[in-house]
A and B are shown apart, each in its own frame.
Chain A
Amino acid sequence: MATAQTQMQTKWWSGGKSPFNVEYGKLMMWYFLMSDAFTFGAFLISYGTIRFSQNYWPDPNQVFNAFPLAGHANLPLAFVSLMTFILIVSSVTMVLAVHAGHKNDKQGVIKWMIWTVIGGIAFLSCQAWEWAHLITGEHAVLINGELTNIGTTVTKNPWGPAADLASHEGHHVGTPGPVAFGGYFFGITGFHGFHVLSGVVINIIMLIMAINGNFERKGHYWMIEKAGLYWHFVDLVWVFVFLCFYLI
């Protein structure tokens, strides 16, 4: 209530203070994230355009159905659910690190930043496994009347429509799918993965600075807050990557 009143009575544009009541760095982080949202948006919309222009597009449930150490078990979307959950949890630990920073609780910041870094590394490891599995996991498809084993890469896509009559060791055999699938998948999840990687590096730097007491000497933990904004944005982008590539 008191805050609402201060808000009403302050002349925000009279100078000498931030009219948005945030420090410069945080404001600029917000505007950077907005521009980054447009970058990711443009990539995803480009993917959508190409997907809408195709008569056939692979079903994500068939492409993403593997789980580490589960052999050939058909587990659609299980692994990507785990990745999503890891990223949500690491976002929560980041919120708690920022919260500890507000209270100038050095040990709390250190503890939660360590968990956030672990979450980020876990996500990257999962993505590495998924990429390796897609690229090296070969499937027999009919190309020019001949059965050929191909993996999913930026130039090859074994996830096409079923071939008319062919069968291979009792299995139905497919034909190559739209080549754009691999390019967009590796391009966009790669760009997101690179954001996660840089987020992990930033978080490690924040962790070292917190341990060294840099923020304690400054008297505030606002840097953690800015790194936190970036980290949440990475989680936010994953919501849409997850939506566009795995769910619909």
Chain B
Amino acid sequence: MALKLNLHTQPDVPLEADCISPDKMQSLSKHEIEQLIIFHGNRQVPLKDFFECSGEFDGEINIDGDLSRIKHIGAAMSFGKITISGSVGIHTGAAMTGGEIIVEGDASDWLGPEMYGGKITVKGNAGHMVGSGYRGSTIGMQGGEIIVHGNVKNETGHVMRRGLIVVGGNSGDFTGVNMVAGTIIVLGEMGIRTGAGMKRGSIVCQTKSELLPTFTHSCDYQPLFLQHYFKYLKSIGLAINDSLFNGSFERWCGDSVELNRGEILLYAGK
């Protein structure tokens, strides 16, 4: 039986709750879990002041309620599973190294920043800076997967180095800005300045997009590796058009202000 947390009181200022993580809750009794410390503004309060606990931790945590003002859920987690029935606040899954987070609603900004491994699935939309590096960091996401079924805002995959980010809807501006390596797949439309300053890595989009002048058209081709990605994405419930499997992609190289070893693949039709 999974541990269940239910938000019984909406906080008037955001809560910082990095204790909501399998790593922090394993081998604790219900009473000990209730006494875990969270930050309410600059005050430290026990978890039970805002969450009602039931069940027992068996590697899985289910959280009910609107968590859009709860920050750092699953931060630095390395195993287990967190399921959130509603929306969730910023820094969810920050620097996580393993395990899985499933968000049935929307996620706010900074989803999975600087994560090393594991998987985050968001059924709704996500905010800015998905899988990015924190300000000042030269390396962002270093592994794992972030799957967002809806839209995301700006700077998705900023300075990411490894891993996969998939956006089922549209992405905002600066998708893959300064990315070092890794893969971003956008099934909707992308905003402007995609891949600005990217060194390596792949950004794949199902629709045409206006690119920076520092990207040059290399060729049109049918990348075999994308078929594996699309097959996988279809299997996890994303709407993949069958024409993508055998379609042709424009390959754009860039960013020439950097190493020029990155690529943006835009679907060119059959």
A associates with B: no
